[in-house]
Chain A
Amino acid sequence: MSGPGVAALEYGARVDFARLRRERRARLVAALREARLDALLLGREANARYAAGARRLWTAGGRPFAPGCVVLASGAVHLMSTWDEGIPEEIAHSELYGTTWNPAKLIGSLAAIPGLGEARRIGVDGMSTGFARLLPGAVPKAEWLDASELLARVRRTKTADELACIRTAVAVAEGALAEVLPALAPGVRERTLAGRFHAAAARLGVTTPAFEASFCAGAPLRRIPAERALAAGELVVCDAGVLYAGYEGLVGRSWPALAPGARASAAQRELFARARALREALLDAARPGARVADLCRLYAAAGEPLPALPVVQGVGLGMEPPVAGAAADPGEARLEPGMALSLVSCVERSGVGVCLLREVVIVGSGAPERVTRIGDGPLST
């Protein structure tokens, strides 16, 4: 990889996308065969993207299940797309089926996929009442199985090319935040900062967000930027992310809205010191074999309550397992080399603010590699 960037270079691509797609597909098909599945029917965009590598239109929010991608044990991938723009060259025109408003037509398209009709064991990443009723029309003998564990397992550890995408995404997110931070001053609207973040990322070539950028002042923690203007000295949680080639790049810091010449308050710096200590503990614990649930317990050990956002999450094609926090149960998940994670240290004090420090790391054989490079800002000086 020739450093983070999104343009192609005359001597090669920064990320070998053909290899990226080949390796992902090979992993998926091997897992499918090992599980003795005949096919996968995928509705979640991240799973479809993993299998097919296509760029389809980004929209906010989820959608009800619809079979937008079919993977066969033969290794063939069929994709719902009315055109071939955004579709990798290894997917033939005969492997595309058009979008439709008519579920019966979609069933007809699926029925025409060679080999799918005879499938007996099919893994899915969702289902709906309507498709459960219609799908036997295309696949009469199928038994439907939950493939989410299989998909999570395949996606959990990253190839070198996937890691290159994640590093690029983080570089873009950090770069976009760096462009916004000089404007973070008393009197500026929270929503203005969010707009500037998204605009800066778009100018770096990345127009798809991981979520609406969060620039929220004060305590308790809020995550949706409001119409309100920042007051002098307020501590602002800046938490944002982008999707580059589908891969998530996250950045999160707390920054005080300082008038020229002003400094962060002693109480804010004390809050930062607590957040930094918790961050160090999280980073130290992010080693292979560690239970994800135990990372969450570091909050209790530090005497801090778990915040309302996930404190550990997998970083890949968007947010992915393991996800852990006050509302997310990672079960018995353990860390292994090659996983990319986001770790959040987030502490708050009423009247002082919220200090959030987000680190993207890659789990290695010992201490994790830190992808995050952005500094801690005025709280640390």
Chain B
Amino acid sequence: MSASDPELDLARMRRERGARLRAELERSELGALLLLGVNNARFATGVHPMHADAARVAHERTAVLFPRGGAPHVFTPFPETAPPELARDHVHAPLWLESEAGVAAAARLLRDALGGGLRGPLGVDEHSPASWFGLGKALGVELADAAPVLGPAKLTKSADELECIRRAQRANEAAMQVVQAALRPGLRQCDLSALFLEALFETEATGNCIDPIWQVMEPSRALGPWTTHGDLAFPTCTTDRVLREGDVIWVDTGIDYRGYASDFGRTWLVGQPPRASARQRDQFRRWREVVDAVLERVRPGTTGLELVRRATEVAGGRRPWPEHFYLIHGIGTDPAEMPLVGADLGEAFDESVVLAPGMVLVLEPAIWDDGQCGYRAEEIVAVTATGYTRLTSYSYAPFAEDA
């Protein structure tokens, strides 16, 4: 943290998020929400469970019961991370949802916490097998999907949420700076992960969210991995692959700051020193053109489809991103969330995405010259009342000198 940091009021952030979620819940048919997804539990209450592998998260589950009226209830193995404003009788031991008996016991605890009956179905975001097959019956209520309530509540961010994303990005960039400075032939991909993780834990970051990606891009699609769609493979997993002079690597990392995700994407070159060819600089310039053309149109009211069309036009008629990806994704308590723009959801979907203040957009086009490799990077902006503000500030070296 530095003295010039914009203010961050976490209590206000939790209060405002909770109010948005409650307003959406009240607009819905649902009687209450049961949130079993870690990111959703974080969003609803600010509880911050340990970052862990999925199998461990299932067995050491944090759950949030979010009723229409009154404060939420948190069931967690990490009670020390429950927000201070939550009364202690709203912080409970974890629910055990990995067996039928556990679900029956959980139903009793949930019923006690709810007090009276539910005025509608219980909206659940994700299930263990036992909760899917047994929770509705054990509770005597209908189960429904929580997503229609969560989605709109998460779509636009408050000033405090934007500040969390900015700090997440800053911590991520600081750790990547250390890696890029050390990058040289002979390091293995896993050595870069080591440098990144060691540096990350010296920042204000509150966790790492993804196995860092340092994919060496082959010059052509045909030389890369086979794909179902014939387009590029990305991202593939890190191994002990030894990096060599001239390797083009697409890097992608993501961390957590108080429940908010970052997303760092750049193209780096391996070399002593790394030097971009004229072609590579041109690829960067074309990437910049796509990003600038899209950003020119980022303001409230613009549709996702307009952005897709503009990016495609500037790139010469072909969508400048791999087919399984998108031009833009949102980011918040989930590393990729709405709004998705240019994904495989169709033009009607892209047209239904209308930019609004507080939306966060991660732009990640990629320029590809088959046979000559390509350039990919990610740029994060928040939509404002009149345009956008940048949340990223990392350099594009060695493709450009500017920051």
Contact surface of A with B, Cβ cutoff 8 Å: 6-7, 44-46, 55-65, 81-86, 93, 96-102, 105, 124-130, 146-148, 191-192, 194-196, 198-200, 202-203, 205-212, 214, 222-224, 243, 248, 308-310, 313, 317-321, 323, 326-329, 331
List the B side residues contacting A148 at CB < 8 Å: 98, 128-130
Contact of A212 with B207 in the complex, beta carbons under 8 Å: yes
The residue of chain A having its C-beta at the shortest distance from the C-beta of B197 within the complex is A198
Say if the beta carbon of B229 comes within 8 Å of chain A.
yes
Say if the beta carbon of B50 comes within 8 Å of chain A.
yes
Contact of B55 with A318 in the complex, beta carbons under 8 Å: yes
19 contacts between A and B (CB under 8 A): A55-B237, A56-B237, A60-B52, A60-B53, A60-B210, A62-B54, A82-B324, A83-B225, A83-B227, A85-B225, A195-B197, A199-B194, A199-B195, A211-B50, A214-B50, A308-B77, A317-B55, A326-B93, A329-B96
The answer for the CA separation of A197 and B50 in the assembled complex, in Å, is 16
List 5 additional A-B contacts (Cβ < 8 Å) besides A60-B38, A198-B201, A209-B208: A127-B127, A128-B126, A129-B124, A211-B50, A319-B60
Stretch of B19-27, B342-350, B359-367 with 4 or more beta carbons under 8 angstroms from chain A: B342-350
Contact of B211 with A82 in the complex, beta carbons under 8 Å: no
Known: A57-B235, A85-B233, A331-B101. A97 touches B228 (CB 8 A): yes
Contact surface of B with A, Cβ cutoff 8 Å: 37-39, 48, 50-60, 77-81, 93-94, 96, 98-99, 101-102, 105, 124-130, 132-133, 143-145, 147, 188, 190-191, 193-195, 197-202, 207-213, 224-229, 233, 235-240, 256, 324, 326, 335, 340, 343-346
List the A side residues contacting B197 at CB < 8 Å: 195, 198-199, 202
From the candidates A63, A82, A210, name the one contacting B233 in the complex (CB within 8 A). A82
List the B side residues contacting A194 at CB < 8 Å: 201
From the candidates A62, A85, A99, A127, name the one contacting B38 in the complex (CB within 8 A). A62
The residue of chain B having its C-beta at the shortest distance from the C-beta of A224 within the complex is B50
From the candidates A59, A63, A223, A309, name the one contacting B209 in the complex (CB within 8 A). A59
Contact of A82 with B227 in the complex, beta carbons under 8 Å: yes
List the B side residues contacting A205 at CB < 8 Å: 188, 190, 239-240
Most chain A beta-carbon contacts within 10 A, residue among B51, B53, B239: B53
The answer for the CA separation of A299 and B202 in the assembled complex, in Å, is 37
What's the least CB distance linking A122 to chain B, in Å? 13
List the A side residues contacting B212 at CB < 8 Å: 207
Contact of B198 with A208 in the complex, beta carbons under 8 Å: no
List the B side residues contacting A203 at CB < 8 Å: 190-191, 194
From the candidates B50, B59, B228, name the one contacting A96 in the complex (CB within 8 A). B228
List the A side residues contacting B125 at CB < 8 Å: 64
The answer for the CA separation of A189 and B78 in the assembled complex, in Å, is 20
Q: Which 5 A-B pairs have the closest CB atoms?
A: A195-B201, A318-B55, A83-B233, A211-B52, A202-B194
Contact of B96 with A327 in the complex, beta carbons under 8 Å: yes
Contact of A93 with B226 in the complex, beta carbons under 8 Å: yes
The answer for the CA separation of A55 and B225 in the assembled complex, in Å, is 14
What's the least CB distance linking A331 to chain B, in Å? 6
The answer for the CA separation of A359 and B240 in the assembled complex, in Å, is 29
From the candidates B127, B190, B340, B346, name the one contacting A65 in the complex (CB within 8 A). B127
Contact of B98 with A44 in the complex, beta carbons under 8 Å: no
